[in-house]
Amino acid sequence: MAKTKAWQEQEFPETDEQPRRHWLWQALTDNPLLVQAAGICPIAVAAATIRGGLLVAIITAAQLLLCELLTSLLLKKLPGWLRAAGYFAIGLGVICGAFWFSEALSKWTGTDSQAVRTVGVFLPLLAANSAVALRCEHRARQLPPGEALRDAAAAAAGYGFVAILIGTVRELLGWGSFWGRPFTEVQVRGIWMPFGGLLLLGALAALLKQVFLRLEEKGRLTGAAAAMEFQIEDWEVRRQRDLDLLDNGEAPSADPHEGTFLLLDNGMFPEDPAQMQMTQPLPLFLKSWDADGKPLASGFAVPAPKPAPQTKAPPKKEPPKAELPKKEKAPSAGPKMVRTAPVRPEPVKPLVSKQAPRPETLPEPAPAETEQPRVTQETVEIKISELMRLLAEQEEQEMNDPK
Amino acid sequence: MIQNKRLARTFLSRFICAATAIGGGMEVSMKNNLLSMFNAGLYAVFLQNLVFSGGFGTTEAIRTAKKNGRLLSASLAISLFSAVTTVICQLLTTLPRLATLPFIWLAALYGGVLLGLYLLAAGLSVLLPLPRKTLVLRRIGMYCLNTIVFAVPLLSFRLGYSIFQGLAYGLTAGLAFAAATLLINAGMATLRENKAIPPMFFGLPATLIYTGLLALAFTGFTGAPLTF
Amino acid sequence: MPQLIERLSSSEEARRWNVTSLLLTLPLLVMGWYYYGGAALRLAVIGVLTAALCEIIFGRLILRTHTLLDLNAIVVGLWVALMLPADLSPWFAVLGTAFAILVVKIPFGGTLHSPFVPAAAGFAFLTVCFPEPVFTYAPPTAWVPVHSSALTALLQTGQSIFRPTVISSILLGETVGPLGTGCILAIAAAAAAMVILKPRRAGMLSTLGFVLAVAGISLLFPRVPGNRLGAMGMELCAGSLLFAAVYLLPDPATLPRGLLAKFLYGLMAGGLCMLLRRLGSYQDNTCFAILLANGALPLLRRGWNEKENWMNPIKTKMKTKSKKSN
């Protein structure tokens, strides 16, 4: 559940219920580099000196402020693929503007624009800085303009701080200089190579995580360290973990960002999920439990059979119509209908597949103290249509939220 | 009639000689081109891997490594866009006016070409009845407008590659990305199993250090970073 | 997910492994001292002390345990020092050993948990940072070497010195080269001892694969023209190749499980080593080859685990159907 909270804090903006943190604090807890692992290339490639780090910081700050503001005002109304083009175009504009400004400034002052020339070859790549795009997609779209600017300032401060720090360390150790002036004779060549930048980033990330862990021990922070876990989103591992939880009688994880699981209320589908037929070719793993959180059944839905030719199809017996179960709000915790993203865009596999072993013994259904609604084909079909509607909503949401 | 026959024979013999010369010349130049393309590809994947030796596309590699099942689409997109952008940019650079532009404006032009290609591809994806259209549109931005795709035409220009070399360089950029992502993904799986990793390193810090050590290993090929 | 890398199950096992490694490394140190004098000992001692200090301080801070007693830090420090030139400034040994312990070992959990061989990574780091000093070898003090250049440099320039009259000198280590990796006889004796010792025996399969790959490729594609056997001998005896094959490659934290897997892993590392020697810019790329093999192993392991799925998809589908019908 700590991880769920961390995800929620990461993915959704703060509400009035949560304490409002200072934007500089957010620069640490929501650092684009050290927490979200975004925008690594400019740091590894360009931030090899203090000047380079400063230039990266300034340009990225300009990009973030401009992109987040425009996203909050205008770009969020566009589809996701067009927004990505917008970020890139704005980035190119900022780069060209920075170069033009630098050239103009150097002409005006009569000095040579060394910093731009040093980093200039990597300058164009800043237009494709993933930190800007990810930040805009995950934050600015859901925030009003003022909050978006605040978030951009936090991200820019966090990114810039890391860029300048890494540039400083790399120039000191790698070139033995400080701001271009010789400082020491020691020159560790590997530090200014890309692998040196990655190692330094890893060390900084570890230091930051240690700070978060200490603060969490004291109770002054929650979920920040868990947000840096950065694990593989392995569909099979998540499925197996949830199956294990079900086997142990526990409710599966309620993280809405995990897996392809579709969690349903009691009575939404029969004991054997194999009887639940989906008309859309999606691999859905269905689970249900009763109001007390006791698992009832789980398994993969199977694809709907192809409609048999009319001449050959035998007349089907119409099952007796059953009353739809009343939806009662479960008093205990547990998601009623949690939509999750189907991660694997593969054709539907049969119910029992090698990768998806069914639990050998499905849990027994709850004793029939209350009248159990009889699940009929019509019931199933009605619930399938509701599922389809929810799936379509989820897809639309994901289309607007490329991650 | 005899004179016509002689003329015809002369013409035919000259035609055959010319065709043989051109064909032979083409064969030699085709061999050279293929060899240079192979060299460019080898450079992109192994000798100076774009991700490890250059640092390009590191974020995309790490984030794609985190999500199983996206590698093929990402690599194909990167290959396709890198190759096409590089070829178009190389062709544009043959124009005398554009070849003399300062590097930053040339880079802006290359960026414009990439943007145009992306908009064309995305627009076609919207209009055409593609399978899994929503997935394509959701991911196309990340895999087409990133540092590795943008770096390939710039690197090709700086390294003085020909069109064929640039094409090979672009096509193998996806392969380099795939190799890097697979290695990082396998490493992340190994790190996940390792329960001895201290809490302060578990997760992103260990992943970054692991990626850095992989980059160190690839440095053994040329001993120099990929710069331009 | 099953454990497919053999990890030593207890700290006592780890300690025994490290003690064995240390004892089998000492003869190399003795030979290095014999050839290069006190400078060799000084470098080794500084490397060991640095490793111990880093282990004590950062092991306590980060791992929250005492890990010095398993002697792994001592072994790593010694191995890094043995691959360096004898007259190199001690700061290089400090830097290389500190990198090995602080960056490669401790962040991944300490002794025998690192996905990369720490000593190989430490030497690779020094190679990248200081390529000239690391490959500028001092002439020995006790005797006249076979050639004034190292075997690795001769191979790069295509010169052969492998004649029957110099084989014994080369095997005894009377060549210009690293501090402690030149005495081939000592390394071979250590390999023989590891074959005799039961816990180390399986690891020697990887060494065998490595040596076979290097020998085969050097026979087929010799860098030294005219003398294939001589080229093979030079490749095997040059630099830290045999030392890395015997001591670094069979690291239990990175070695795969299964006899065939170990052999194939060694083959792969040997192939990468020869590829790097051809294409790489450094004189000795053995440590980079080991790092590449370490990085590639999890990928190959995953492919091997899932081979049933991608090698025989029809069989997999039929199994699925039969399970479903049952």
Which tokens belong to A398?
Answer: 């994901």
Spatial contact of A272 and A266, defined as CB atoms under 8 Å apart: no
Q: Determine the Cα–Cα distance for residues C236 and C220; give it in Å rounded to an integer.
A: 14
CB nearest A351 (choices: C309, C316, C324): C324
Locus of tokens 């390939």: B152
Sequence spans of domains, chain A? 2-228, 235-308+321-399
Spatial contact of B62 and B207, defined as CB atoms under 8 Å apart: yes
Locus of tokens 């064969």: B27
- The per-residue pLDDT for A256 is 34
Phi-psi region of C64 (alpha: psi -120 to 50; beta: other; left: phi over 0): left
Across the interface, whether the CB atoms of B189 and C302 are under 8 A apart is answered: yes
Q: Scanning every residue of chain B, which has its alpha carbon at the shortest distance from the alpha carbon of C64?
A: B198
Domain C11-325 -> CATH class = mainly alpha
Which whole-number Å values give the CA distances from A358 to A80, A283, A297, A352, in the listed order?
38, 14, 10, 6
A124 at interface of B, judged by CB pairs closer than 8 A:
yes
Show which of residues 162-201 on chain A sit within 8 Å of chain B, judged by CB atoms. Answer: 190, 192-199, 201
Q: Which residues of C touch B214 (CB under 8 A)?
A: 291, 295
Q: Which residues of A touch B152 (CB under 8 A)?
A: none
Provide the ipTM: 0.89
Q: Give strand pairing partners of C100.
A: none
Locus of tokens 């009575």: A267
Which tokens belong to C277?
Answer: 């020697």
Which tokens belong to A341?
Answer: 């993203």
Sequence spans of domains, chain C? 11-325
Task: List chains touching B (3+ CB pairs under 8 A).
Answer: A, C
Q: For residue A14, count CB atoms less than 10 angstroms from its CB and return exposed for 0-12, middle for 13-18, buried for 19 or more.
A: middle
Q: Which residues of A touch B207 (CB under 8 A)?
A: 37, 202, 230
pTM: 0.78
Percent of chain A with pLDDT over 90: 24
Please compute Rg for chain A using Cα positions.
Answer: 27
Task: List chains touching A (3+ CB pairs under 8 A).
Answer: B, C
Q: Which residues of C touch A193 (CB under 8 A)?
A: 128
Across the interface, whether the CB atoms of B204 and A34 are under 8 A apart is answered: yes
Q: Determine the Cα–Cα distance for residues A129 and A40; give it in Å rounded to an integer.
A: 8
- The per-residue pLDDT for A311 is 56
B53: Cα separation from own chain's centroid:
15
Rounded to a whole number of angstroms, the distance from the CA of B37 to the nearest CA of chain C is 17
Which tokens belong to C56?
Answer: 């004590």
The mean predicted confidence, pLDDT, of chain A is 70
SS3 A373: coil
E strand or H helix that includes residue B103: helix B103-127
In this prediction, residues C227-253 reach a mean pLDDT of 91
Q: Which residues of A touch B104 (CB under 8 A)?
A: 95-96, 99, 120, 123-124
Q: Scanning every residue of chain B, which has its alpha carbon at the shortest distance from the alpha carbon of C99?
A: B213
- The per-residue pLDDT for A330 is 41
Task: List chains touching C (3+ CB pairs under 8 A).
Answer: A, B
- The per-residue pLDDT for C246 is 95
Locus of tokens 């207890």: C10
- The per-residue pLDDT for A323 is 47
Spatial contact of A98 and A123, defined as CB atoms under 8 Å apart: yes
Across the interface, whether the CB atoms of B217 and C295 are under 8 A apart is answered: yes
Which whole-number Å values give the CA distances from B60 to A31, A129, A131, C276, in the listed order?
17, 10, 11, 27
User: Which of the residue ranges B45-49, B66-70, B195-199, C169-173 would you say has the lowest mean pLDDT?
Assistant: B66-70
In this prediction, residues B56-63 reach a mean pLDDT of 91
Q: Which residues of A touch C107 (CB under 8 A)?
A: 202, 206
User: What does the pLDDT look like over A289-315, one tens digit per residue?
Assistant: 555 555 556 655 555 555 666 555 555
* Cβ-based interface (< 8 Å): residues of A facing C: 188-191, 193, 199, 202, 206, 349-354
Rounded to a whole number of angstroms, the distance from the CA of A247 to the nearest CA of chain B is 23
* Residue A348 clears pLDDT 50, i.e. is over it: no
Locus of tokens 């006592």: C12
Spatial contact of B155 and B25, defined as CB atoms under 8 Å apart: no
Q: Determine the Cα–Cα distance for residues C314 and A239; give it in Å rounded to an integer.
A: 24
Across the interface, whether the CB atoms of C324 and A350 are under 8 A apart is answered: yes
